[in-house]
Structure 1
Amino acid sequence: MRYLFIIAITSLLLSCKSEQQQYHFRTLTEDGKSYEILDSVLIKTRDGAQIAAMVVKPGEIKEPGTSILFHTVYARHDDIKRAKKAADKGYIGIVSYTRGKAWSPDDPIPYEHEANDTYDVIDWISRQKWSDKRVGMYGGSYVGFTQWAAAKKLHPALKTIVPSVSAAPGIAEPTENGVYVNFHYPWFHYVMEDKYLADSLYSDWQRWNNLYLEWYKKGTSYRSLDSLDGFPNREFNKKLDHPVYDNYWQDMMPYKEDFAQIDIPVLTTTGYYDGGQIGAMYYLKEHMKYNKNANHYLLIGPYTHFGAQSVPDKEIGNYTIDPVAQINITETIFQWFDHIFKDASRPELLKDKINYQVMGTNSWGHASSLKEMNNDTLRFYLNDKVSGELFESTFSGKQQHLSLSRQKEEKRSYAEQEVDLADRRDGKQNNYFSPFVINETLTLGNGISYVTEAFEEEFEMNGSYLGELKLSINKRDLDCSMVLYEQTPEGKFFKLTLAYVGRASLAKDKSKRQLLTPGEISSIPLGNVRMSSKKIGKGSRLVLVLNVNKHPHAQINYGSGKDVSDETIADAKTPLKIKWYNDSFIEIPIRRKQ
């Protein structure tokens, strides 16, 4: 018996030894710097898949060191530069890939296995002789998601994450508040048709725009996109099979009580003009909701999706950001790692949990929570009375807004909107798109605009507007959009953040569709609205553009009550008629001068 025990222990030790000796570092000297590099590593997961990875150590460090992990689906041939950057900062830089990417022999599968695979990668790192059993993670978009996937079941070696502009499958990708958005369609080809990236296919915007226009003009089902294209898109279609936030999505990342056990420090970065802000803020809010002691910091400013994970552009949509907003976010991230792993001071900009740049003031604000960003709230009702305030419409000349009123009307009334969902003529789209931050004219997209009175004193708008739409329709569902602007005394329109897009039937519960009853008044709460921060000047007004979605760049909800991906133009039948009631309201979080 003792002999068998010795044999078993010896076999285990030999197995561990062979795993650690399987790869040998090579030395590289470049630009006066020395690196120790492991190329073409394959890490075996518990279910038998193989994860491709590379490791770069600083040449001058011989003791076990701390690892900075970047786990991505975006496999590129020059990814060693990213690992070297971590090594240049005194860490062991590691880039690992979604299963099936780079030199992994498996089939590429984004999203589904990242929670388990990142755990196994971190476990492998922690068992290496060169590791001090401490790992930090960073990166943006999909790489932000992989960090939250890793946090679903925390490995003891994972000590901090720095997710930027994080994807949140089922919450913000490929849907936003329940509405599928077309630009995700070619993304699956981009990451799955090649062991690296199908750049030429993905960047063929003419092809994709032609596809969307063909689908829009023909009125075929959303599920038919790949049939029209003549190129199967299996993974996209799989996502269409899960139109609500069900177990399929919940298993990919922390869900509800999972957030309670995330007790490591987190730094989130995102931007007011970041499409990924919905996901980034979802994680932050859920973390703070379920873990009252969450050690979670936020850095947010007037940044786009790419700017908020690296170095922001100085100009966004013809708006020049304030000088204090022109920071190097990558450097801030490594300062954070030095704070966590080397006992350095916290990055200077992170003076409190919530750190936000107030556009138009050349200053940063700092608060202990999202709630503490504000000291007042302005509620405005969507009044159907004409405001008398003229404005220049982009396509229709002089127009008048309806009113955003501080007082609720005693008598219920409504503004009526009719949308023929079958009408595909030019000029008949209902679209919220506006490419600029500062606009000389207001793009209505066949929607309705509401305006406040001019403000008598300046204040800061800080945070996400909330509210509730009271409406009745002659169908069973609709998708709507809202965009909030500051209208300056000079008549320009400053877009405060990207549009809100949402599905009425999922507004109360994203995991269960609740269809509307035709002809009855329904209350639709606004959730997952992007936040912003800006000084609203004296004499300015707020303008809200409200609309229904009908355009070639997102799913069209015909209101039949069927799975929206299966609806066609034949389900449009009679035009959609909406009554927007005057007890609908939005609430604007503000900070007044003390």
Structure 2
Amino acid sequence: MRMTRRLWLAFAVCVAPAAACLGGAKGEGLLEALRKHAIVETDVMVPMRDGVKLATDIARPKADGAKFPVILMRTPYRKNLGGASGALLGGYAFASQDVRGRYNSEGDHRPFLDDPNDAFDTIAWFAAQPWCDGNVGMTGGSYVGFTQLAAAMTRPPALRCIAPSVPPSDFENGVVFYGGTIRQELVQGWLIGQAGSSQRVQRKEVPAEELQKWQPHRNFMEWCWHLPLSDPGPLALGGQGYVDCWLNGVNNWEKPGSWRQVSAVQRAEDIQVPTLIVAGFYDIFAQENLDLLLALRARGGSDLARKHSHIVIGPWPHGIGGPAGDLAFPAAGRALGPLQPTWLARWLKGQPNDADKWPPIRAYIMGQDRWLDTDTWPPAASRPMRFYLAAGKLAPEPPKADQPPSAFTYDPAKPVPTLGGTNLIIPKGMKDHRKNAERPDVLSFLTELLDNDLAVVGRLRAHLFVSSSAPDTDFTAMLLDVRPDGYRGNIQDGIVRCRYREGRATPKLLKPGEIVQVEIDLWSTAYTFKKGHRIGLHVSSSNFPRFDRNLNVAHPPATWTQPQAAHNKVHHDPAHPSFIELSVLP
């Protein structure tokens, strides 16, 4: 019976964000069902330090004089009590709150910026309630996961633990920027979606259709072509907060640090509570979630944070448990069931259990269909392996003879289209790249057929010697599994903007024909290439709209409008040994 309770609690808490669409009869039906067994309050207006009040729904067990720990979720996606049933069954109170300026809460919505202080004040309010035992924990995914990190960075005295799933945790190196580019489909697409449900739209103060036509399911791809990037366009209809969030990215392209206050990876020393992260290798925040775990283990703000922070990272996109494009590992999801109930019992109720013995990292190895427990990333048993680029080939040894570079022309008016990957609003996960491989602006490099299975587990990086006719251009790298039937499935990919090859704070334009070395971070994976397959590498200069297009000009990226073609080369001779480095298990 106890395990049944735990599993139901895990399910109920995990699906609470998905229940955000509950409304009308369904919403009322849920509330009526809860009221049979709980005290339910809706739209409780919790005061913040500046007088703004945030709408909060609360459900707590019916028990006169009893006190309970609180499970709190703070969301921009409409509060609901979808996770309350399981929480109540486990002996917790459950609360869901609209963040500032969203749905029923007061104030202006400024994505991410107000969540630290608001979370601190909300937790303090709950700890002071006569029915609360003074212990508060937080759960939820994506932005709801971020609100937990935002809370933890302010060190609320009553916060005991957090369990963020796929949370944005490094805005400087993953959420907004990647390799010097802006993650256009993620940032722009998400903001347009949020502006479409803004309070201005709900109050009919602006024409909703003007925002709706640019939504991801309609004409978003058309807006991606719009220049300059500094034009917020439809975001203005949502309100100034949505505009400022976009401009904080494009206007601070060369000013690293503008996002530090909300970047948990950079502020790990401020987090003092045990942290359980659930992540996916095909998720939009995959690498920064791994980086967050490593940062907490190394420099968390307390012994508890350093010793009791964990990550479970599986074969999932931004939608934990679901298929990643053409990849599906349904058995992997079964490991999630007992995680949160065990975690909450340990840190909200003080019940010793298996959580004390969890490894820092538990990673699912795709292709072996098993979980790997490790204290380090990459695992200590792994070793680096290099494959060197040659004409159409990936070889285990560096080139010994001179050979001409591989060349192509990149036209920003005809960029390589994004096919899968770590995306949010466009198709994600693994897709077949045979069509892209046929393009003249995509260079393809393949190994010989593998004699044995090869488990690649860890960080992936491409080190390329490149040159261009343009003062600036991008180079992309994509690792692929090339199957015997010809299918080319993307494992991970990355990009570098050449002017920012030494960092966004130190732009350095190219000289025509000058050979420079660039490093492309492809993030991490845990994937097994099967015997008889080939390892593939695609190199190009665009992956659009996953990343914004480089127009190959010297003007600042935020304001450029006039593109020009670039003649780009990848060099792979003895003096310029370009290679990709993998981390492999024996």
Same fold (TM over 0.5): yes
In 1, the alpha carbon distance for the partners of 2:385 and 2:333 equals 30
AA at the equivalent of 2:386: R
Question: Which whole-Å deviations, capped at 9, do the CAs of 1:259-317 have from their partners, x for residues lacking one?
Answer: 134332111111122122133233223333434935321111111211x2xxx13x442
2:365 paired with 1:365: no
Q: 1:239 aligns with which of 246, 249, 252?
A: 249
Classify 1:145/1:340 alpha carbon distance in 2 versus 1 (closer, same or farther; 3 Å).
same
Q: Quick check: 1:318–1:437 contact (8 Å CA) kept in 2?
A: yes
Structure-2 separation of matches of 1:197 and 1:187 = 16
Three-state SS of the structure 1 residue aligned to 2:471 is coil
- Return the match for 1:346 from 354, 362, 373: 354
Q: C-alpha distance in 2, partners of 1:563/1:440? A: 32
Counterpart in the other structure of 1:260: 269
Match for residue 191 of structure 2? 188
Pairing 1:295–2:308 present: yes
Going from structure 1 to structure 2, the CA distance change for 1:102 and 1:514 (only over 3 Å counts) comes to: same
Cα distance in 2 for partners of 1:81, 1:75 equals: 11
Which protein has the larger Cα radius of gyration, Structure 1 or Structure 2? 1
So what's the TM-score if we normalise by structure 1?
A: 0.80
The question of whether the paired residues in 1 share the 8 Å contact of 2:253 and 2:504 is answered with: no
Aligned residue in 2 for 1:68: 71
1:337 aligns with 2:340: no
Match for residue 409 of structure 2 among 419, 428, 438: 419
- The answer to whether structure 1 residue 283 and structure 2 residue 265 are counterparts is no
- Residue 487 of structure 2 aligns with an amino acid whose one-letter code is K
Give the structure 1 partner of residue 222 of structure 2. Answer: 210
TM-superposed deviation, 1:358: 1.6
C-alpha spacing 1:303/1:552, structure 2 compared with 1 (3 Å) = closer
Q: CA deviation at 1:162?
A: 1.2
Amino acid at match of 1:585: F
Residues 589 and 183 of structure 1: is their aligned pair in 2 closer, same or farther, counting only changes over 3 Å?
closer
Contact kept? 2:415, 2:549, Cα under 8 Å: no
Structure 1 575/507 Cα, relative in aligned 2: closer, same or farther at 3 Å? closer
What displacement does 1:59 show? Answer: 1.9
Q: 1:275 to 1:86 in 2, by over 3 A?
A: same
CA contact (8 A) 2:185 2:547 kept: yes
TM-superposed CA distance for 1:414, in Å, is: 5.2
- 1:543 Cα deviation (Å)? 0.5
Is 1:460 the equivalent of 2:455? yes
Q: Would you say the 8 A contact 2:70–2:136 is kept in 1? A: yes
What amino acid is the match of 1:178?
G
Contact 1:296 1:353 (8 Å CA) reproduced: yes
**Residue 58 to residue 482, structure 1, CA distance change in 2 (3 Å):** farther
- Gap change, CA 1:89 and 1:591, over 3 Å in 2: same
Task: Answer whether contact 1:299 1:356 (CA < 8 A) is retained.
Answer: yes
| Distance apart, 1:478 and its partner CA | 2.4
Shift of 1:515: 3.8
Structure-2 change in CA distance of 1:146 and 1:437 (3 Å): same
Structure 1 vs Structure 2 CA RMSD:
3.2
- How many residue pairs get matched? 526
Structure 1, unmatched stretches of 5+, are 1-26, 386-401
Deviation at 1:98, TM superposition (A): 2.0
Q: Which residue of 1 aligns with 2:11?
A: none
Q: Is the 8 A contact 1:80 1:95 kept in 2?
A: yes
Higher strand share: 1
Q: 2:419 aligns with which of 405, 416, 433?
A: 433
Alignment check: 8 A CA contact 2:449 2:534 kept? yes
- Matched residue, 1:14: none
1:546 is aligned to 2:539: yes
Cα gap change, 1:255 to 1:415, in 2 (>3 Å): same
2 CA distance for matches of 1:124 and 1:514? 50
Pick closer, same or farther for the CA change 1:316–1:59 going to 2, 3 Å: same
Give how far 1:588 is off. 0.9
The runs of 5 or more residues in structure 2 that have no matched partner are 1-29, 203-207, 421-426
Shift of the 211–261 alpha-carbon distance from structure 1 to 2, 3 Å rule, reads: closer
Alignment match, 2:43: 40
Secondary structure in 2 matching 1:90: coil
2:471 is matched with 476
Supply the distance in 2 between the matched residues of 1:456 and 1:204 (Cα, whole angstroms): 43
Distance 2:125 2:99 in 1: 15
Q: Which residue of 2 aligns with 1:505?
A: 499
2:580 aligned partner: 586
Shift of 1:489: 3.7
Residues 43 and 525 of structure 1, relative CA distance in 2, 3 Å threshold = same
Paired with 1:255 and 1:167, the residues of 2 have a C-alpha distance of: 10
Secondary structure of the 1:481 match is strand
Partner of 2:15: none
SS of 1:269's partner is: strand
Aligned AA for 2:537? L
Name the SS for the 1:361 alignment partner.
coil
Query: How do residues 52-201 of structure 1 correspond to structure 2 at under 5 angstroms?
Result: 52-60=55-63, 62-76=65-79, 79-168=80-169, 169-180=171-182, 181-192=184-195, 193-195=197-199, 201=212
Amino acid at match of 1:248: S
How far residue 249 of structure 1 moved from its aligned partner, in angstroms, is 0.5
Q: Distance in 2 between matches of 1:516 and 1:462?
A: 34
Give the 3 Å change call, closer, same or farther, for CA 106–587 of structure 1 in structure 2.
same
Q: What SS class does the counterpart of residue 365 from structure 1 fall into?
A: strand
Q: State the distance in 1 between where 2:483 and 2:532 align.
A: 7
Looking at structure 2, the residues matched to 245 and 373 of structure 1 have their Cα atoms a distance apart, in angstroms, of: 36
How far the C-alpha of 1:520 sits from its partner, in A, is 2.8
Q: CA deviation at 1:500?
A: 1.9
**Structure 1 residue 255, shift from structure 2 partner:** 5.6
Separation (CA, whole Å) in 1 of partners of 2:312 and 2:201: 30
Cα separation, 2, equivalents of 1:136 and 1:228? 34
